[in-house]
Structure 1
Amino acid sequence: MQEPEFRAVDPRRCFLLWFVPPLTVFVLGLVVLLVSGHITGPFRNVTVVRALLASKRDFFQDEQVKRILMARGYQVHVTPAGSRDLARKPDLDSYHFVFPSGHVANEHVKTRRTGKHAVPFRPFFSPVVLGTFRGYAEALVRAGVATPHDQGEQPLYYNLDLQKFMELVEKHKRWNDYGAANGNRVIIQSPDPCKAYSGAVLAGFLASARDDNPPQTVEAAEDLARRIKPQIDAQGQTSEDMAPKYFAPEGPTHAAIAVIYEHQYLAHQLEKRGADKERVLLYPTVQHQSTPELISFTPEGDRIGELMMTDPELRRRAVELGFHSLGWNGATEQDFAGHLSERGVPEPPSGERGRVALPKAELFERMIDVVGDCR
């Protein structure tokens, strides 16, 4: 019989065979994390910036935006508020910057900051639109107050004649009068006009449909407000934001037509890659583009505003969230239509129709006070 052989094994070799593969993986992973900034991030000096934001707070609450800002050394702490409430906040000066949604609130903030640091930035705009559902849009077509924007089989955008629509409201017409399975009145539901800019813009839409010429006196503003007040009152109790209700699975039961911002709808469709064919937009006879101003009160706020205007990643993300990006000169930037097309979403008819002529800020404020019984 052959005698057994004994083989000496070097324990160092066994250790290396066991240790080297995971060590290699660890080193490669460490390199990736260092390059991406995930390891150094916790040790980086991060500046916390306090911001008072209206509806555009959804931009700063986006996870990708948070990561981009963190990589630049900033974290924005968001305090939500309606635009009109924001402009009247007693502790306004305690924030690094504010971001109201509309012109009236912008001007009110700048007036309060007279003689103080107040630097405005306009990184993007988003039209105020009416979100509805295909069944209701087709009912409005049958009623003769809406037309598809294009001739596709399932258009996402419709034009709405506000004057004719208001006649339906005044006559107390119901959705089932035009073939929709809903016995409720035909109305538009909006956020509280006393708090939210988009709710105030609905009053501007209706006022423009009543009279092409904006009022020039307080008396004329109050008279026009009283004429459109029944259309606002018809919706009953209002909330601060219609978008969460509109995009909820049970959205059609919350509001047949909801006042929202175009970017909210486009962000939803971009996420779905155009697959949601039931939710559609109505573009009124006249349009209104909300051009919010980031108004900075401090150097830290200035830096956030500058990043919003110049940082390629932030600006690209704004387009991905449905905003029309603006440059320093106010011109539209980024390939907005191309980005939508790549994701199967047709370009909306933003800016293709006349803009609503809102009254001067102080007269518009008075109109809203009357329409909404604001206190």
Structure 2
Amino acid sequence: MKRVISIVLAAGLAVGVAVAILIGNGSEQASEQPTVRGVIGSEKQAFFADPAVRAAFAKHGLNVQVDPAGSRQIATSVDLARYDFAFPGSSPAADKIQQRRRITTRYSPFSTPMAIATFEPIAALLRDAGVVKKAPDGTSTFDVAAYLELAERKVRWDQLKGNTAYPVRKDVLVSTTDPRSSNSAAMYLSITSFVANGSAVVGDARSRARVLPLVGRLFHDQGYTENTSEGPFEDYLSVGMGQVPLVCVYEAQFVGRAVQGQIRPGMVLTYPVPTVISRHGLVPLRPAGDRVGRLLTSDPELQRLAARHGFRTADAARFAKVTAEHRVPVATNLIDVVDTPSYDALESLLAAVERGYGAGPS
């Protein structure tokens, strides 16, 4: 009997050792996956942190690690020598990186339009003021020209006719990120400067001087602003209307949080008229980064996951399916879309806005 027990124990021990070896080999193989490092616009941080996205890369033998930064910082001040790829939130920023690094390759796996997130009581006030309007498809638009008229006159919320929902002594202003570091603020500047310039893209010094007094104030009068787009959007989600009645966001942020069940009743997404499309361009800095760019562009699973995070991919049906499943009203046909200024023109305008900080009341 003792001999039988000994044999059984020995067999069990052998099986345990074999399982341990198999598990050990699996862990070793996982740890041996090459690490690919990238620097990304913060609006994509949730996407790269998603376990499903990490698993999709792992299937291709890649362990992708990312650091978030403001897209303007990525293009101008981040030490790119540490990374295999750079993935800012706009074409102008990607253009600058390519120019600096003399790289011709770029991948554009997805895009997202700029939007203004608000709350139904604020939307109702601004509908009465002619700023927010209902579109035929059930979405809401944000008339930038009408908004700039209010901003130019420094209209406060408590001065809006019939305002009992939000009678505060603050100027009617959209909250943004810091234009000195963040791409979403640069996209907002692209929109507002276009309208302030008589519906023309700002290009030369004369047009910059024409729009600067108004568009500069849109930023300076906000007070403190965050460096990345996640900051003000988190305030919108958690603090609410009292602090952030209007915030400039990427559409993808709103849709992605709706998929996660974090958009509450009464939260409203509006589309600026005109708007700009933020095209997320991945610039490969090394061969490993090139693999990431190719996979993001061509791998069906990664494209599906990008749509779940609110990004528009080459296959419009993916995005439509996600928004329909989660009942997120989004604009399917964006018609009034304008170009951003060239990188140099936008940088010159941003630099002029930057000089206005600390210059006293405008």
- Shorter-chain TM range is 0.7 to 0.9
Q: Is it true that 1:304 corresponds to 2:292 in the alignment? A: yes
Partner of 2:233: 243
List per-residue Cα deviations over 1:278-327 (Å, max 9, x = no partner): 2111211111110011110111111111111122211111111111112x
- Using the alignment, how far apart are the partners of 1:343 and 1:11 within structure 2? 63
Poorly superposed stretches of 4+, deviation over 6 Å:
9-13
Q: CA deviation at 1:264?
A: 0.6
Q: Is it true that 1:292 corresponds to 2:276 in the alignment? A: no
Aligned match for 2:206, one of 219, 226, 232:
219
Moved more, 70-79 or 183-192: 70-79
Q: CA deviation at 1:118?
A: 5.0
Partner of 2:40: 53
Q: Which residue type is aligned with residue 254 of structure 1?
A: Q
- Using the alignment, how far apart are the partners of 2:306 and 2:58 within structure 1? 16
| Structure 1 segment 132-143 matched on structure 2, within 5 A | 132-143=118-129
- Using the alignment, how far apart are the partners of 1:41 and 1:142 within structure 2? 61
- Given that residues 213 and 357 in structure 1 are in contact (C-alpha distance below 8 angstroms), is that contact kept between their aligned partners in structure 2? no
Q: CA deviation at 1:38?
A: 11
Q: Is it true that 1:70 corresponds to 2:55 in the alignment? A: no
- Given that residues 225 and 368 in structure 1 are in contact (C-alpha distance below 8 angstroms), is that contact kept between their aligned partners in structure 2? no
Partner of 1:6: none
Query: Which has the larger Rg?
Result: 1
| Structure 1 segment 323-342 matched on structure 2, within 5 A | 323-326=311-314, 332-342=315-325
Partner of 1:40: 26
Q: Is it true that 1:209 corresponds to 2:195 in the alignment? A: yes
Q: Is it true that 1:231 corresponds to 2:215 in the alignment? A: no
| Structure 1 segment 161-176 matched on structure 2, within 5 A | 161-176=143-158
Q: Is it true that 1:262 corresponds to 2:244 in the alignment? A: no
Q: CA deviation at 1:333?
A: 4.4
- Using the alignment, how far apart are the partners of 1:148 and 1:179 within structure 2? 21
Moved more, 74-83 or 365-374: 365-374
Q: CA deviation at 1:235?
A: 1.4
Q: Is it true that 1:357 corresponds to 2:339 in the alignment? A: yes
Unaligned runs of 5+ in 2: 358-362
- Using the alignment, how far apart are the partners of 1:237 and 1:260 within structure 2? 17
Change (3 A) 1:374 1:173: closer
Partner of 1:80: 68
Partner of 2:172: 186
- Provide the identity percentage: 26
Moved more, 309-318 or 59-68: 59-68
- Using the alignment, how far apart are the partners of 1:106 and 1:225 within structure 2? 25
Q: CA deviation at 1:266?
A: 0.3
- Given that residues 98 and 296 in structure 1 are in contact (C-alpha distance below 8 angstroms), is that contact kept between their aligned partners in structure 2? yes
- The count of residues paired between Structure 1 and Structure 2 equals 338
- Using the alignment, how far apart are the partners of 2:271 and 2:248 within structure 1? 11
Matched position secondary structure for 1:201: helix
- Using the alignment, how far apart are the partners of 1:335 and 1:77 within structure 2? 26
Change (3 A) 1:90 1:66: closer
Q: CA deviation at 1:359?
A: 2.4
Change (3 A) 1:50 1:342: same
Q: CA deviation at 1:251?
A: 2.4
Unaligned runs of 5+ in 1: 1-8, 21-25, 327-331
Partner of 1:3: none
Moved more, 359-368 or 190-199: 359-368
Aligned match for 2:141, one of 159, 162, 166:
159
Partner of 1:367: 349
Change (3 A) 1:261 1:350: farther
- Given that residues 140 and 269 in structure 2 are in contact (C-alpha distance below 8 angstroms), is that contact kept between their aligned partners in structure 1? yes
Q: CA deviation at 1:254?
A: 2.7
- TM-score for both structures, normalised by structure 1: 0.81
List per-residue Cα deviations over 1:212-261 (Å, max 9, x = no partner): 1223422322332233212222212211222221222x222331111111
Q: Which residue type is aligned with residue 171 of structure 1?
A: R
List per-residue Cα deviations over 1:184-219 (Å, max 9, x = no partner): 321111001111111011112211221212234223
